[in-house]
Amino acid sequence: MSIKWLRLKRICEELSGRTVQIHSSTEVADDHVAATEFNETEATILLNSGRTKSLEMIIRAIAHEITHIQESSNKHNIDFNEKWEKNVVIVTEKYNK
Ligand SMILES: [Zn+2]
């Protein structure tokens, strides 16, 4: 399966209002699906290549990290999962458009 990485990058940039780099790496700890670092203008999303093997898993992981960026927090607040699930739907719709 071919992943449209540039399309995912553009979707992340639209949803986060930042320049976004997406990296997929074999060097992420096994207990992490993905991670993000961000400031006011830029964000980096790091995917664990071993735990994001399908488009669905990649979109779920990216939507999770986008939610952190939108919230400007790495915490999982009480409504985090709800916002994450909404972002999964939004990213999936934009990806398939
Ligand atoms: Zn998280």
Q: Does residue 61 contact residue 93 with C-beta atoms inside 8 Å?
A: no
Give the Å distance between the CA of 32 and the centre of ligand 1.
9
Give the Å distance between the CA of 84 and the centre of ligand 1.
9
Give the Å distance between the CA of 26 and the centre of ligand 1.
19
pTM: 0.95
Give the Å distance between the CA of 9 and the centre of ligand 1.
19
**Per residue of the chain (97 residues), what is the pLDDT tens digit?**
699 999 999 999 999 999 999 999 999 999 999 999 999 999 999 999 999 999 999 999 999 999 999 999 999 999 999 999 999 999 999 999 9
Q: Give the DSSP letter of residue 64.
A: H
| Predicted local distance difference test score (pLDDT) of residue 4 | 97
Domain spans, the chain: 5-96
Give the Å distance between the CA of 97 and the centre of ligand 1.
27
Domain 5-96 has CATH 3.60.20.10: no
CA geometry: angle 39, 50, 64, nearest 5 deg: 35
Q: What tokens does 93 get? A: 């719709």
